[in-house]
Every structure is written in structure tokens, then in C-alpha cells.
Chain A
Amino acid sequence: MAALAVLVGGGTWTAVADDGPPAVQREDRMLRPGGVPIDTSYFTAGGSGKRPAVLIGHGFGGSKNDVRAQAEKLAAEGYAVLTWSARGFGKSGGAISLNDPDGEVKDVSGLIDWLAKRPEVELDKKGDPRVGLTGASYGGAVSLLAAGHDQRVDAIAPVITYWNLADALFPDGVFKKLWAGIFVTSGGGCEKFEKKLCEMYERVAVSGKPDAAATELLTERSPSAVADRIKVPSLLLQGQSDSLFPLGHADAMQKAISANGAPVSVDWISGGHDGGDNETSRVEGRVGAWFDRYLKEETGTDTGPAFRVTRTGGIDSTDGAALKRGASSDTYPGLRSGGREIPLGEGTKTFRNPAGSAPPAISAVPGVGGGLSQLSSLGVGLSLDFPGQFGRFESAPLATSVHVTGTPTARVTVKATEGRDAVLFGKVYDVSPDGRQQVLPSQLVAPYRITPDQQGKPIELALPAVDHEFDAGHRMRLVFSATDLGYASPAEPATYTVTADGPLTVPTAPAVTTAAATLPWWTWGLPAAALVIAAALLLTARRRTATPAPDPALTDVPLQITGLSKKYAKSVDRYAVRELSFRVEKGQVLGLLGPNGAGKTTTLRMLMGLITPDEGEIRVFGQAIRPGAPVLSRVGAFVEGAGFLPHLSGRANLDLYWQATGRPAEDAYIDEALEIAGLGDALARAVRTYSQGMRQRLAIAQAMLGMPDLLILDEPTNGLDPPQIREMRDVMIRYAAGGRTVIVSSHLLSEVEQSCTHLVVMDRGRLVQAGPVAEITGSGDMILVTTAEEVSEPLAEKVASLPGIGSAVRLDDGRGLLVRLDGATTSRLVADLVRLDVPVTGVGPHRRLEDAFLTLISGGAA
């Protein structure tokens, strides 16, 4: 009969955009599988190889278009996928008959017949294609029903659907009016339904109480009617936030289908008909894996655990989304596994059902605020009970947290006003320790209709099945309310009494374990990689050359510099110091002389280990200098001005500096140093208030802390007044007299001349001369000859070559000579000069170091 295919519009072939091969092709057809026109879409991809088929049903109020994305995905994965609009929906004809075996279910069988004739569909035998069914809600129910009615179905994966529609809409004989109304409305109104169903609904909605005929009508069209005939592998996905088809439906399916011997997995997803996250991507992935395993028979495919529940852990603080993680067990625990008794407060509660059953208590509000019930897992929720309309029993604060997975149960005795049914709504709140906040897990309530013959004796009431963690310190609050917004309760006023006859038994499903939060690899990988990189950076920073061994021969030599060269990084060609070598002996006061830019300071920086020489070596007491060389502790330095913490006093600066050296306080000789500084009361002031001279003196005092064996003073008299300069000179001389060594750098030559024993003269980075002061100044053998005319260069050379003359250098302006005698007398020199026709205007001794210095420097330049 499936051959009654009617092609609409000659068959539309549409290449569906797809980011990768194979492209999915869609054929839209109008078929008549069960006597009414059914609008279908057929999806295939790839070549003509045989493949299993999948039928995807849509939800109530929808059409085949709702499932197109999933169909395309499955088609691309190698299935022949057929979607259809059920009777009464979309472009299909007929009236809604709520999955009537002779209606919608028959249509599905017809579609399977049609699939069996497709050349690309794999057949188990003639007319029996390899086919699976899935779909959400209404489409899920038809999956179950088709599996029960048509033995050709090989696997099903119903999502958030019902086992018994009567149970869903008339739970325990209480009319779920709000959902039922929404259900009918979303179907397009009562007139769209089969007449029998419409009449039934209107009858029940008016009376507010389902009758036996209504229950029977819905039950016979429900999957539960074919419970013993569903024998195919079933993946049951049910929503936790679902007051329409709560978790109990999946529990009943699981029991029935696994009793038939088929493999069953149960998966409680986060969302449901009340809203929230339906985990579409994960659900479709799992459904795909289920079909891969049972339709394609890929035995290696992991179909997941027998039971999985999505738990909400909190909020992702980076994007505000709820965090979810799965908990699972290898067996389905059922709804009453691992019962734990929570004692409840005793007593009998009396409350009233208000006339007209208004105002109603509020729990789940269908169709309102997608994810309202989600909030309960975060500790927020909207729920309301009106005083006088409910009775409550409360536990003591929980000693440890209790994770409830399933349906809590309570034994109670209920009485109602004479002869009336007691219609109650049971719920278990999670109450915060201060008692001010209560949260209704998943916003679920369980309705009960307790008829007069059940009243007055203990009965067991099952509360809503939930997955919820009650934290330690929280209480469980069992509440029975007379009304609920979602349900029809009797309009007649009544008084109810409820007595708790025992503890609240809560299922804890101990076998269900939460998967450890999966952290991406980089959580550990990146820090580990960083550790490796950091170690590599530090290890490669070590200098290749080993520290040179100390030279025992130089142990008593305060300083020896050998072949020292340094170029700063920014000046490629110009050397700051070049091939400098000199030696300082113990007890010397060495003057390091040179004009600005001669390389004095650079040399001292290298001596202090602040900068690294390019070539050469500095040894202090035989130890090679490197950054932080321990021998530097025997060197005191004042180089390039003071360096103090401006916010601290002079005294605190010296104290902290000495403490920073880590040496014993008694070795500091701080009082002696402070006397040299001569700062008096100013020592207690912050250094930022000091004058230049005061800082200078404090810095020299700091250099002298600990009485170092080698004291280095760079331009020490800058900023000092003449008496202080003389004082400083005495200090240096006395200091060296104790067997210590002082190096003074200066460009104030007169200064050096008076205090130094030895000199090192530098110019443009090179050593010009080194030796005792007297030797360099020539012991009075320097003669300044002034002339009337300019002395030519050859003439100067002629003078220099005279016997007994050490050197003769023209003055800068050319009108004179600086002559060093080397054996000759002054009168002999004058005679020779006259003989050489030098126009002499004056001859005099020139002992000043400054001239000697100039002589040396100009000699070096010549």
C-alpha cells in the first residue's frame, strides 16, 4: 500500500547545504500510508550503498520541518532518513487521534513499507527494512508504539515522551488542567482532534475530574498498552524539568522493555517540557551512537551507560551559563534505590481546601519562563504556598549532604471532610539553614486523589522523582498543599488533616557516581610546559665560561686589571674601555684620571660587577670579578653619585644597607662612617630633603661601612665645599695608611695631585700612563717654554730629539712647548732653543699635574 506514493510537484530534489561531503539530498513527497495524505521528506547522502533507515517523528504541535536538522545529520552519517508530519499537523491530512493504533501508528507501518521498497535501504528480509525510530514527545510516543505494533522496528530512541498518556494528564485521578489545555491548544484546538477525543477533553475539563472512560481511551492509545510487545533496544531520554511527562514514565518504560529482554539505557536530560537545556547536541549524539550500534551493528560503538543523569553544578562564571556534568551507573537504579530514612517532625496538620480552589499554590508553570525549574538546581526558584492551605513536616538539619535520585516516599494518614476525596499535592522542599529560603527541586509536585475508603489509614505516597542535592545543614520540608495552579482540585471547600506516620524515605542511588569534571588537557599541560620553558630560560642564562680560579699570587693585590675592553651595546664601533691594564698595590691611594668619556666610570662599573667586560679580566685580591662575586664584600664603592631610598632617613638607609649585606652589625663601624658623613641631626630626616652635598657625604659613609679593604670613590669631592674637600683628602690618606687601598677617580687634577700616591691616566678608553704621581709629573723636570711665534711641528720634533730632552710637545695654540728634561739642564735647553732659532719669550718650571696630564693625553693622541 505504500506504493500509493503521490509525488507532489514532481518530486523536489534539493541539495542541502552541508559543510562537508557527502551532500544530503532531500525528496519531499506526499504519501498515503494509512489512508490519509502524509507529508514526508526523505533524506539520503552519498552513493547508492545499502543503509539502515531512521524515522524521526516530531513533537505535538509541530511538523516534519522541526526535525530536518537532525534528519540531515543522520543522513550524512549514512542513514536513509524519513520524516513526516503526523496526521492533523503540517500539510498532512486527517485529524489528530493521539497516536491511535489505527491512525498514526498505522501510518508509520505504511512508511516502513515504503522504506522497504527503497533500493538503498538495507533489508533484514523482504519487506522488512532495517529501521529505527526516534522523536521527541509525541514523536517519541509513536516510536514506542510503532515498536510495539510493528515487529519490523529494530531500535528506538524516544525522547521526553509518555508511557501512559492517561497517567500524564490524569495522574492519580487528578486532572492536569493547565498542561492538558496547552496540549489541546498547541494541537490547533479541540476541533482538530478526532471527535471522540475532543468530546472527552471537554467533558473532563468541565468536570475537573477524569472519568473511567477518559482514562481508558487514553490508556489504550498509549505505549503502555503494548508494553509486552516492545522488544527492541531502547534508549530512553527523559527530562528532569518536566511536569508533563515526569521521570516516572521513563521508569515504567525501562521496567517493561527490559522485562522483555531488550537492552535499555535511561538518560535523564537537564531540560524537559518545562524548559531548560534540552542538551540537543548531546542527545542527538547519543541517539546516533545508539543507532550505529543497533542498526548499523557497529559493535564497537559505545552506547553509553545504562543510566545517566545530567547534574547542574553551578554557573560558569565566565559566561553565566549553567554548568552541567553527567553522573552515571552501569545499571538503571530505578526510582527507589538506596532508600534513606529522614525522620520528620511528628504531628497532625490540618488545613483547608479553599472554595473554588483559589488562590492556587504555584509550582511548575508550564509555558512560562524557559528554564524556571532550572533555577531550582541553582538554589533559586519560584514557588508559593498559601497559609492555611498546606501542612508541612520538617526534618532536622541534615548532618551530611543527601543526594536524592528518584522518588521519595512518605507514609501518611489523610482525612478529609466527611465523604469527600482529598486532593493533595505533595512536594519536598530544600530549606536553607536559616529557614528563610526554600527551593522546590525541578518545581515538581505529585498529585494524589485519596478516596474516602483510603482515608484514615496509613498509606504510602510517592513524591516527585527528582535528582537533587540537599546540602548539609539544609532541611527537607515535606509539604502537602490543597491546591496547585497546574491541576484541577475540587471546588467544594474541605478540611484535610494529614498525619505523618514515619520518616521520609529518600532514594540516594548510591551506584550513580558523578563523573569527575573533565578539565581540558591544557589545564595541566600548559603549566607543565611553562615550567619546562622557564627552566630552559634559566638554565641557558648561565654563562658558558666557568668562574676562573682564584690566583694565589694576587691574594694581596687589591686590584689587577688585565686587557680589559668594553663596548656598550648601542655603540658598535666605539670602545668605552679598550685593552686597559693596570695594577694597584696595597696601601696605595690611586688616582684614576681622565677627561669625561675616558672610560673611568665604565671601568669602575666593571670593577663592581655591574657590567660585564667584553674582554679581559679584573681581579680583586686574586678573585676574578663577576656579577655578585663574594669578594666584592671587601670593596666599598661610591660610584656615579648617591643611591638612597628617598623616603627613609639617612640613618635608616645606612642601617638597612648594612643589613642587606647580611653581615654582623658590629662589623659595620657605622659610627665611624657617620662621623665622616658629619650630617648631625639631619641623619634622622628623610633623604629626599638632603642637599646634593649631604647625599654625597652619606654615600661616602655608606661606601666606608664595614671598613672595606678596597675603597672606590668616584668624583668624591663633587658638591663639597673647600674645607670638606680638605677633610675628605685627609680621610683618604688616613684610610690608606691603615693598610687599605683607595681608588679615587676624578677629573679635578689638582685634587688628585695632593692626595694620591699613584696615578692611572686614561683617555678615550685607553690607558695613557700609570705610575707614582712623582714619576708622572716628572719631579719638576717639566719646563714650559713660551714663544713669540707659532712653533712648527718639525721644530718641536727637533727639540724633542735634542740630547737630554725626554719630550717636547707643542701647546694647543702652538705658541709654546712643554718640554720634559731627561738629563739636560734648563740653561742648556734655553741655549739649544736659541740655537734652533726658537723665538723664546719665557722659560719656567711647570710642575702642575694638569699640564702633565694634557701632555700625556696629547702625546697619546699624536
Chain B
Amino acid sequence: MSAPVQPPEARVEAEHPEAAGYRAGRTLPLRVEAMRQLRRRRTLLVGGILAALPFILIVAFAIGGTPDGEDGGGGGRGGGRINLMDVATESAANFAATSLFVSAGFLLVVPVALFCGDTVASEASWSSLRYLLAAPVPRVRLLWSKLVVALGFSLAAMVLLPLVALAAGTAAYGWGPLKLPTGGALAAGDTIPRLALVVAFIFVSQLVTAGLAFWLSTKTDAPLGAVGGAVGLTIVGNVLDAVTALGSWRDFLPAHWQFAWADALQPELEWGGMIKGAAISVTYALILFALAFRGFSRKDIVS
């Protein structure tokens, strides 16, 4: 801090209350928010784990042998046990589906909770939130950018896993039709749309986690509190869903539908479960997102 500053003349005209070139709608562009989040260790860690998982599974199958021997005789798979694991190594598509199956319960919940729960709370903990707001980035604009980027990162995490699994699976098991655990197979050409549908459903079904994490994120300055709270409540949902005594009340638990995407891997695409699951998730998510925007827009930022 040695050189003298030669600032330009101060503005005197008063027609524009804001600084030249400032437009509220242009603040915190998505690209900038993405850049801010992209180089964070947690982002790279999540990406690394999801990219590594398929290779870990390939090694596991290589060590443990293929999950299922070839069936004998003139056709038909014996028994009614339905398990994606049995057909995991049939083809790249099967491998990708299995990777999703083992991750959907928890591994894909964590990135969503992390990206959405950490996004506002970590800015608050770094004190950078108040500088953004004083820049000024309007509060709704700030939340919107952060939400879109967090959801975008979450989606990217969910797409990354099957993409890596498809690539790794093609190398390890070859490209082929998706063999269904219920028997039958989907042509290779149908596989990609079905897997895309699976990813789309997982994403929509995780909106409730995203909404919860995001809401908590606007409520607390402790990023781990928001992430942990969202993951914790997801686990509580799973536990409640296991209480069969709740009967049809379980239909209203988001966790009840978390594996409804398996319907996309049935010979006859079954929409009912996925539509119901998506409806429940969107219902919770809408209210939670609205709570986040409502609370944040009136909140005193003291961090």
C-alpha cells in the first residue's frame, strides 16, 4: 500500500441513484456463483468419490466374482428374487443401473444436502455473505443464484456417476442391452433414455432433501448443521418408512418413494410410483424453498 491512489472524479449527477453499470438483475450471475463453488474441496471431493465409485465396484466384482452364474437350459431365469446386483456385470448399462442402485439411498443424498445446505451457511461463516448483500446483490437474487447452482451441482453429481459407470462398464463388461432383474432385457438404444429417466427421478425425489438443506442453510451460520440436519431428517424418514404400521401414511414420506425409479427398469415402464414420489418431493420442496426465501428476505444478517 504505497502507491498513491488517483481516483477518478466522484460522480455528481443524480439522475441515477445507483452506480454506473449496476443492474440488480445482473448481480451474482450463475457463472460467477458456479466459479465460487467449483474449486471448493467439498465439490472436488464429491466429484472424486462419485467418479471413483464405479471403479471400486468393478474391482469388488472382480475380486468377488460375478454376482450371478449363467442360468441353464432353454430359457427363463429361475426364482423370483429381484435384485439389480444379480445382473450388475451383464453390460455397461446394467453396471450403471447398479451403481445408481447402491448410491441412491445415501451416497447421492449427501451431495444434495452438501451443495444445498452449505451454500448460504458457509458464506455466512466466512462473512462473505454480508459483502455480497452490500454489493448489493438483492437477497432473492442471491438465493436464486445459489439455489440454481446448488441444484445444478447436485444434478451434475447424479449424472456423473452413471456416466462414469457407463464408460467404465463399457470397458469392463462391454456395451449391450440392459438386462432386467425381472428377466427380459431392454435394447441398448432404449437404455440411455431409461437411465436418463432414472437420474431425472432421483433428482426430483431429492428436491425435498435439497429444500430442507437449503432452508436450514438460510437459518444457520454453521454449514455442517444445515448439511447434517438435512441428512439426519432423511434418515429419520427412512426409519419411519420402515414402520409398516404406519400403513398408507407412509405414502406421504418422501423416503417411501426413493426407489420408485426401479420402475423405469421394468420391462413395462411403470409411471405410477415415480409420479407419486415426484409429487410428494415437489410438494415438500416447494414449501421448504418458499420458507427459505421468505425467511431470508426478512432476516437480519448479523454474521
Residues of A bordering B, CB below 8 Å: 313-318, 320, 323, 371, 375, 378-386, 429, 431-434, 436-440, 469, 471, 473, 517, 519-520, 522-524, 526-527, 529-531, 533-535, 537-538, 540-541, 543, 550, 552, 555-556, 568-569, 586, 605, 608-612, 621-623, 627-635, 637, 639-648, 656-657, 659-664, 667, 669, 672, 675-678, 697, 702, 704, 706-709, 724, 727-728, 730-731, 734-735, 738-740
Q: Determine whether the beta carbon of B131 is less than 8 Å from that of A323.
A: no
Q: Determine whether the beta carbon of A375 is less than 8 Å from that of B74.
A: no
* Set of chain B residues within 8 Å of A629, measured between Cβ atoms: 136
Is B219 on the interface with A (CB-CB < 8 A)?
Answer: no
Q: In the complex, A646 Cα to B36 Cα: how many Å?
A: 10
- B5 closest partner in A (C-beta): A672
- 25 example contacts (A-B, Cβ-Cβ < 8 A) are as follows A314-B268, A315-B82, A315-B266, A323-B270, A382-B76, A534-B287, A534-B289, A550-B17, A552-B14, A555-B14, A609-B133, A611-B301, A623-B17, A643-B128, A645-B40, A645-B126, A648-B39, A656-B35, A659-B32, A660-B135, A662-B29, A675-B5, A702-B131, A734-B5, A738-B7
* Set of chain A residues within 8 Å of B18, measured between Cβ atoms: 630-631, 633-634
* Set of chain B residues within 8 Å of A434, measured between Cβ atoms: 176-177, 185
- B142 closest partner in A (C-beta): A628
- B270 closest partner in A (C-beta): A314
- B290 closest partner in A (C-beta): A534
Instruction: Name the distance in Å between A365's Cβ and chain B's nearest Cβ.
Output: 13
Most buried by A among B20, B176, B183: B183
Q: Determine whether the beta carbon of A517 is less than 8 Å from that of B272.
A: yes
Q: Determine whether the beta carbon of A608 is less than 8 Å from that of B137.
A: no
* Set of chain B residues within 8 Å of A662, measured between Cβ atoms: 21-29
* Set of chain A residues within 8 Å of B302, measured between Cβ atoms: 568, 605, 610-611
Tell me the interface secondary structure of chain B in the complex.
loop
Given contacts A439-B183, A531-B286, A661-B22, 12 further A-B contacts (CB under 8 A): A314-B267, A317-B259, A323-B270, A471-B268, A530-B287, A537-B291, A605-B302, A632-B135, A633-B18, A640-B130, A660-B36, A706-B19
Give the interface segment out of B108-116, B152-160, B230-238, B277-285.
Answer: B277-285
Q: Determine whether the beta carbon of A610 is less than 8 Å from that of B263.
A: no
Q: Determine whether the beta carbon of B127 is less than 8 Å from that of A640.
A: yes
Is B62 on the interface with A (CB-CB < 8 A)?
Answer: no
Q: In the complex, A656 Cα to B31 Cα: how many Å?
A: 10
Query: Given A635-B134, A662-B22: A437 and B183 within 8 A (CB)?
Result: yes
Query: Given A628-B138, A660-B137: A517 and B271 within 8 A (CB)?
Result: yes
Q: Determine whether the beta carbon of A612 is less than 8 Å from that of B300.
A: yes
Query: Given A378-B182, A675-B2: A641 and B127 within 8 A (CB)?
Result: yes
- A566 closest partner in B (C-beta): B300
- A707 closest partner in B (C-beta): B7
Most buried by B among A555, A631, A663, A667: A663
Contact of B268 among A438, A469, A643 (CB under 8 A): A469
Is B65 on the interface with A (CB-CB < 8 A)?
Answer: no
* Set of chain A residues within 8 Å of B283, measured between Cβ atoms: 526-527, 529-530
Is B52 on the interface with A (CB-CB < 8 A)?
Answer: no
* Set of chain B residues within 8 Å of A323, measured between Cβ atoms: 270, 272
Q: Determine whether the beta carbon of A667 is less than 8 Å from that of B20.
A: yes
Q: Determine whether the beta carbon of B11 is less than 8 Å from that of A634.
A: yes
Q: Determine whether the beta carbon of A663 is less than 8 Å from that of B3.
A: no
Q: Determine whether the beta carbon of A379 is less than 8 Å from that of B22.
A: no
* Set of chain A residues within 8 Å of B138, measured between Cβ atoms: 627-628
Contact of B276 among A440, A519, A611 (CB under 8 A): A519
- B263 closest partner in A (C-beta): A317
Q: Mark B64-92, 1 if CB is under 8 A from A, else 0.
A: 00000000011111101010000000000
Q: Determine whether the beta carbon of B270 is less than 8 Å from that of A313.
A: yes
* Set of chain A residues within 8 Å of B187, measured between Cβ atoms: 433, 473
Q: Determine whether the beta carbon of A384 is less than 8 Å from that of B74.
A: yes
Residues of B bordering A, CB below 8 Å: 1-12, 14, 17-29, 32-33, 35-36, 39-41, 73-78, 80, 82, 126-139, 141, 176-177, 180, 182-185, 187, 250-252, 256-257, 259-263, 266-268, 270-273, 275-276, 279-280, 282-284, 286-287, 289-291, 293-294, 297-298, 300-302
* Set of chain A residues within 8 Å of B29, measured between Cβ atoms: 659-660, 662
Q: In the complex, A432 Cα to B20 Cα: how many Å?
A: 67
Most buried by A among B78, B126, B257, B293: B126
Query: Given A378-B182, A672-B6, A678-B1: A644 and B126 within 8 A (CB)?
Result: yes
Instruction: Name the distance in Å between B7's Cβ and chain A's nearest Cβ.
Output: 5
Q: In the complex, A439 Cα to B182 Cα: how many Å?
A: 11
Query: Given A529-B283, A530-B287, A556-B12: A429 and B75 within 8 A (CB)?
Result: yes
Q: In the complex, A320 Cα to B263 Cα: how many Å?
A: 11
Q: Determine whether the beta carbon of A609 is less than 8 Å from that of B136.
A: yes
Q: Determine whether the beta carbon of A380 is less than 8 Å from that of B74.
A: no
* Set of chain A residues within 8 Å of B73, measured between Cβ atoms: 384
Query: Given A523-B279, A630-B24, A643-B127: A437 and B6 within 8 A (CB)?
Result: no
Instruction: Name the distance in Å between B137's Cβ and chain A's nearest Cβ.
Output: 6
Instruction: Name the distance in Å between A440's Cβ and chain B's nearest Cβ.
Output: 8
Most buried by A among B2, B80, B273: B80
Instruction: Name the distance in Å between A615's Cβ and chain B's nearest Cβ.
Output: 15
Contact of B7 among A439, A630, A740 (CB under 8 A): A740
Contact of A318 among B32, B40, B257, B286 (CB under 8 A): B257
Q: Determine whether the beta carbon of B275 is less than 8 Å from that of A523.
A: yes
Instruction: Name the distance in Å between A814's Cβ and chain B's nearest Cβ.
Output: 40
* Set of chain A residues within 8 Å of B252, measured between Cβ atoms: 522
* Set of chain B residues within 8 Å of A610, measured between Cβ atoms: 130, 133-134, 300-302
- A387 closest partner in B (C-beta): B74
Most buried by B among A438, A519, A627, A740: A627
Q: In the complex, A317 Cα to B23 Cα: how many Å?
A: 49
Considering the complex of A and B, which 5 residue pairs feature the smallest CB-CB distances, nearest first? A643-B127, A662-B26, A534-B290, A379-B184, A438-B75
Q: In the complex, A640 Cα to B126 Cα: how many Å?
A: 12
Q: Determine whether the beta carbon of A316 is less than 8 Å from that of B183.
A: no
Contact of A608 among B26, B133, B261 (CB under 8 A): B133
* Set of chain A residues within 8 Å of B273, measured between Cβ atoms: 316-318
Q: Determine whether the beta carbon of B182 is less than 8 Å from that of A609.
A: no
Instruction: Name the distance in Å between A396's Cβ and chain B's nearest Cβ.
Output: 15
* Set of chain A residues within 8 Å of B261, measured between Cβ atoms: 317
Contact of A669 among B7, B20, B132 (CB under 8 A): B7
Instruction: Name the distance in Å between A635's Cβ and chain B's nearest Cβ.
Output: 7
Instruction: Name the distance in Å between B6's Cβ and chain A's nearest Cβ.
Output: 7
Q: Determine whether the beta carbon of A383 is less than 8 Å from that of B26.
A: no
Q: In the complex, A104 Cα to B1 Cα: how many Å?
A: 112
Instruction: Name the distance in Å between B226's Cβ and chain A's nearest Cβ.
Output: 17
Q: Determine whether the beta carbon of B133 is less than 8 Å from that of A379.
A: no
Q: In the complex, A663 Cα to B29 Cα: how many Å?
A: 11
Contact of A433 among B22, B177, B250 (CB under 8 A): B177
Contact of B136 among A371, A439, A628, A641 (CB under 8 A): A628
Q: In the complex, A678 Cα to B289 Cα: how many Å?
A: 42
* Set of chain A residues within 8 Å of B22, measured between Cβ atoms: 630, 633, 661-663
Q: Determine whether the beta carbon of A676 is less than 8 Å from that of B139.
A: no
Q: In the complex, A5 Cα to B134 Cα: how many Å?
A: 97
Q: Determine whether the beta carbon of B185 is less than 8 Å from that of A631.
A: no
Contact of B27 among A523, A661, A708 (CB under 8 A): A661
Contact of A678 among B2, B126, B129 (CB under 8 A): B2
Q: In the complex, A776 Cα to B183 Cα: how many Å?
A: 90
Instruction: Name the distance in Å between A680's Cβ and chain B's nearest Cβ.
Output: 11
* Set of chain A residues within 8 Å of B141, measured between Cβ atoms: 628
Q: Determine whether the beta carbon of A385 is less than 8 Å from that of B40.
A: no
Q: In the complex, A538 Cα to B143 Cα: how many Å?
A: 13
Q: Determine whether the beta carbon of B184 is less than 8 Å from that of A439.
A: yes
- B26 closest partner in A (C-beta): A662
Contact of A537 among B250, B251, B279, B287 (CB under 8 A): B287
Q: In the complex, A641 Cα to B287 Cα: how many Å?
A: 35
Query: Given A315-B266, A379-B180, A656-B36: A627 and B139 within 8 A (CB)?
Result: yes
* Set of chain A residues within 8 Å of B260, measured between Cβ atoms: 317-318
- B4 closest partner in A (C-beta): A734
